[in-house]
């Protein structure tokens, strides 16, 4: 985060320096004295032109710089600069100079949005009264931006900022914003030129008409923006990210690069293929204890060109999205209705390919099998194709969800085997299918490790990060009082508690043998707290982040308060500059996904709501509470 802040600061200073140098160049020499005379003395039109021509070649720079500044500084009106350009240099040259400035300004806006847009975009969107999310996902996004340029009284910079916020590429952005601004620039430059070649009365008449249009715009702005929102909403894109065939070369490069990296990190991978070549079409299920399980799975099945389901979060970044699509992956909104994903899954199976998924849909918190949502079993049953499994063991200890880096000495075992033939899937009941899948994928890393006494894990930061899943001190009962350093675990109240040894066991006669026992104990405490309190509520001030604009996974959207109770999850606060209240019934909150010590999140269609709580260590609490409350509601 500090490095990103420094980079933003350096880029911002660079932009300011460029603006300052251009301004200094424009008004250097005798230009400043000329400008003062223009502002303090009365001239006829012809005298004024003669004075402006004294600017020489710097005059060209002055017009372009002023045109650039009126884009970047949205409060500056554009028309005076354009009129001045047409009046001084004529229509063709004045238009060219103004458009050069506009293009440079548009580019600077794009850069500023990519650097600071998360914090600033809410202001612009609120001023425009536009639904950015709807427009960004609309097939008429470009048309809406063009329409904004034809509406008077909207600064170019505000439109540019809005266009950049939709996440479009720079090439498309600069094309759209440049063409969009061209008609109004032509009008402004033309007005200036007409004062020279025709009567000033004509210019005054046209200017008065523009003033009238501006007045009407302000009077009817809510209705106009409302129609634009409705227009965009009627043309919402469908299936924005379609499944693609895997690019074998790209996958091979990625696989080799990552494999080499974790080999250098001291991780050994052992694979066993018990089936040879899987039948097509098929579904391949894999347990999910580590972030890089896809690489372990690829060691077994990459030659069969599978299509992997990946959390939609990772598709919000345009570069990562491109890479994931090149290796045949496609997105899923975890624990949410996702018609786009369903269509892509059916496409894979219809084309007789391998559909690979991790049905737990989140990383294991403690190195044990997490439950699978009922709809996943129903889909597998309905698909009626052969089911294979990749059972991975040791991956959690190599790189745990809460950990800081890989552990040297780690051993990862991955085994590919058939679970059911297509005919067996069709013949068995849904409950039989569920039991079979659970039994095959079930894993417990500590039990696995007990059977391998020679494995030792080495890391200078062995215990660091445990405070992000272990939140209650077993000595004093303090919550969020734990800290870690190296292999040691401390409590702010009790001092040193224990250490984590080379086999993930606690030392010094600690109350618990390992982290799973500690986690289960704190979950039992929470379970009892919820059961004993009919009005149980978990609440926190949060920062809301939404899908990124293409250059990041998420972006800042607002701040507010999140509450979780038996009614569901509610967010009350701001979203892109507007006051909102978002509510998700507990039946929809199957599990709140969480990043250890980072955030908790929920998907709404193809959009993620990414909440960063005030106490980041509480993220696991939101996960546990959502699980308990949802299961309680389901069992009523």
Q: Averaging pLDDT over each range in 42-46, 187-191, 300-304, which range is the top one? A: 300-304
- State how far the alpha carbon of 349 is from the alpha carbons of 55, 241, 285, 417, 421, in Å: 70, 17, 14, 19, 15
DSSP codes joined into one string, 420-444 = E-HHHHHHS-HHHHHHHHHHHH--B
Question: Contact, 71 vs 109, CB < 8 A?
Answer: yes
Q: What is the mean pLDDT of the chain?
A: 84
Report whether pLDDT(551) > 80.
no
Residue 406: strand pairing partners: none
Please give the average per-residue pLDDT across 348-373, as a whole number.
95
For residue 144, what pLDDT is reported?
73
- Other Cβ atoms closer than 10 A to 87: 21
More confident: 614 or 87: 614
d(CA 247, CA 251): 6
Predicted confidence at residue 562, as pLDDT, reads 98
Q: Are 114 and 15 in contact (CB under 8 A)?
A: no
Whether the Cβ atoms of residue 132 and residue 576 lie closer than 8 Å to each other: yes
CA dihedral in degrees (49, 52, 55, 56; nearest 10)?
Answer: -20
Beta-bridged to residue 418, according to DSSP, are 388
Model confidence at 416, pLDDT cuts 50, 70, 90, reads very high
- Tell me which of 114-118, 182-186, 443-447 is least confident: 114-118
Answer with the residue of higher pLDDT: 368 or 45.
368
Q: From CA 607, how far away is CA 142, in angstroms rounded?
A: 21
Yes or no: say if 95 and 189 are a contact pair by the CB < 8 Å rule.
Answer: yes
Residue 471: both structure tokens together: 């939140």
For 232-261, give the secondary structure using H, E and C: HHCCECCCCCCCCCCCHHHHHHHHHHHHHH
Out of 17-21, 206-210, 383-387, least confident range: 206-210
Contact 415, 286 (CB under 8 A): no
Name the phi and psi angles at 420, rounded to 5.
Answer: -140, 145
Q: How much is the pTM?
A: 0.74
583, two tokens? 């509510």
Tokens of 547: 């899908």
Domains in the chain with CATH codes? 2-233 (no CATH), 248-450 (no CATH), 466-528 (no CATH), 533-634 (2.30.29.30)
Is the torsion defined by CA of 268, 269, 272, 277 positive or negative? negative
Phi-psi region of 328 (alpha: psi -120 to 50; beta: other; left: phi over 0): left
Asked whether the predicted pLDDT for residue 149 surpasses 90, the reply is: no
pLDDT score recorded for residue 21: 63
pLDDT at 206 over 60: no
Nearest to 504 by CA among 451, 445, 443: 445
Residue 480 and residue 471 in contact, taking contact as beta carbons nearer than 8 Å: yes
d(CA 36, CA 215): 33
Q: What percent of the chain has pLDDT over 90?
A: 54
pLDDT score recorded for residue 573: 96
Question: What is the mean pLDDT of the segment spanning 97-118?
Answer: 80
More confident residue, 173 or 616: 616
| Cβ atoms 574, 122 nearer than 8 A | yes
Of residues 571 and 224, which shows the higher confidence score? 571
564 vs 71, residue with greater confidence: 564
- Binned at pLDDT 50, 70 and 90, residue 12 comes out as low
Peptide bond into 29 cis (omega under 30): no
Q: How confident is the model at residue 172 (pLDDT cuts 50, 70, 90)?
A: confident
Per DSSP, the residues of 497-537 read EEEB-TTS-B-TT-S-SSHHHHHHHHHHHHHHHHHH-TT-E
Task: Please tell me the predicted confidence (pLDDT) of residue 118.
Answer: 53
Greatest mean pLDDT among 40-44, 52-56, 626-630 lies in: 626-630
Instruction: Read off the pLDDT of residues 478-519 as tens digits, 9 standing for 90 and up.
Output: 999 999 999 999 999 999 999 999 999 999 999 999 999 999
In this predicted structure, the answer to whether residue 356 has a pLDDT above a threshold of 80 is yes
- Tens of pLDDT, residue by residue over 380-390, are 999 999 999 99
- In angstroms, the Cα distances linking 460 to 406, 407, 470 are 10, 9, 20
pLDDT at residue 239 in the model: 43
Name the strand (E) or helix (H) holding 612.
Answer: strand 607-613
Least confident of 17-31, 309-323, 559-573: 17-31
* Percent of the chain with pLDDT strictly greater than 70: 76
Chain centre to alpha carbon of residue 143: 25
Cβ-proximal residues to 369 (8 Å cutoff; 6+ apart), any chain: 287, 360, 438, 441, 442, 443, 444
How open is the CA angle 81-86-92, to the nearest 5 degrees?
125
The mean pLDDT of 86-91, rounded to a whole number, is 74
Q: How far apart are the C-alpha atoms of 197 and 91, rounded to whole Å?
A: 11
Say if residue 27's pLDDT is above 70: no
Between residues 268 and 43, the one the model is more confident about: 268
For the stretch 518-540, pLDDT in tens is 999 999 999 999 999 999 999 99
pLDDT of residue 50: 59
Q: Do 170 and 160 contact (CB within 8 A), yes or no?
A: no
């Amino acid at each position: 985060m500090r490095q990103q802040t420094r980079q933003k600061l350096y880029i911002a200073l660079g932009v300011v320096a460029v603006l300052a140098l251009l301004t200094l160049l424009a008004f250097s020499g005798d230009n400043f004295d000329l400008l003062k005379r223009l502002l303090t003395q009365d001239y006829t039109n012809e005298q004024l032109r003669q004075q402006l021509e004294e600017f020489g070649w710097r005059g060209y720079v002055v017009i372009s710089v002023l045109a650039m500044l009126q884009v970047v500084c949205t409060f500056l009106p554009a028309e005076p600069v354009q009129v001045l350009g047409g009046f001084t240099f004529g229509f063709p040259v004045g238009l060219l100079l103004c458009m050069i400035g506009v293009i440079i300004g548009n580019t600077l806006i794009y850069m500023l949005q990519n650097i600071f847009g998360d914090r600033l975009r809410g202001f612009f969107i609120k001023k425009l009264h536009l639904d950015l999310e709807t427009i960004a996902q609309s097939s008429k996004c470009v048309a809406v931006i063009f329409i904004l340029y034809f509406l008077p009284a909207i600064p170019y910079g505000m439109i540019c900022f809005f266009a950049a916020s939709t996440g479009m590429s720079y090439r498309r952005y600069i094309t759209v914003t440049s063409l969009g601004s061209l008609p109004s620039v032509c009008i402004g430059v033309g007005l200036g030129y007409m004062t020279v070649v025709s009567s000033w009365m004509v210019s005054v008449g046209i200017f008065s008409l523009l003033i009238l249009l501006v007045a009407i715009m302000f009077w009817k702005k809510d209705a106009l923006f409302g129609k634009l929102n409705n227009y965009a909403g009627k043309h919402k894109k469908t299936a924005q990210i379609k499944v693609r065939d895997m690019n074998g070369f790209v996958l091979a490069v990625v696989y080799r690069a990552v494999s080499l990296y974790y080999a250098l990190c001291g991780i050994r991978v052992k694979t066993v293929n018990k089936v040879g070549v899987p039948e097509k079409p098929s579904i391949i299920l894999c347990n999910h204890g580590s972030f890089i399980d896809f690489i372990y799975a690829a060691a077994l099945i990459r030659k069969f060109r599978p299509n992997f389901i990946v959390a939609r979060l990772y598709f919000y970044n345009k570069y990562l999205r491109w890479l994931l699509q090149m290796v045949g992956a496609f997105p899923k909104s975890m624990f949410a209705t996702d018609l786009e994903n369903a269509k892509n899954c059916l496409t894979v199976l219809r084309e007789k390919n391998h559909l690979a998924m991790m049905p737990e849909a989140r990383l294991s918190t403690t190195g044990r099998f997490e439950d699978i949502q009922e709809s996943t079993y129903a889909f597998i049953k309905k698909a009626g194709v052969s089911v294979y499994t990749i059972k991975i063991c040791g991956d959690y200890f190599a790189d745990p969800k809460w950990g800081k880096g890989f552990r040297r000495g780690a051993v990862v075992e991955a085994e590919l085997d058939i679970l059911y033939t297509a005919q067996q899937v069709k013949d068995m009941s849904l409950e039989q299918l569920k039991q079979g899948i659970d039994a095959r994928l079930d894993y417990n890393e500590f039990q696995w490790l007990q059977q391998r006494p020679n494995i030792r894990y080495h890391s200078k930061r062995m215990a660091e990060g445990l405070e992000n899943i272990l939140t209650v001190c077993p000595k004093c009962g303090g919550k969020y009082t734990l800290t870690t350093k190296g292999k040691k675990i401390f409590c702010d109240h009790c001092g040193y508690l224990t250490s984590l040894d080379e086999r993930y066991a606690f030392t010094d006669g600690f109350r618990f043998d390992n982290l799973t026992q500690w986690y289960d104990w704190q979950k039992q405490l929470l379970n009892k707290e919820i059961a004993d309190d009919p009005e149980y509520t978990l609440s926190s001030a949060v920062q809301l982040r939404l899908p990124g604009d293409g250059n990041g996974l998420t972006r800042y959207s607002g701040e507010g308060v999140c509450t979780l109770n038996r009614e569901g999850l509610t967010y009350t606060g701001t979203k892109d500059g507007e006051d909102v209240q978002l509510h998700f019934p507990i039946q929809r909150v199957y599990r709140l996904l969480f990043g250890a010590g980072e955030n908790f999140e929920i998907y709404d269609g193809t959009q993620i709501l990414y909440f960063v709580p005030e106490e980041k260590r509480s993220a696991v609490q939101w996960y546990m509470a959502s699980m308990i409350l949802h299961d309680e509601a389901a069992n009523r």
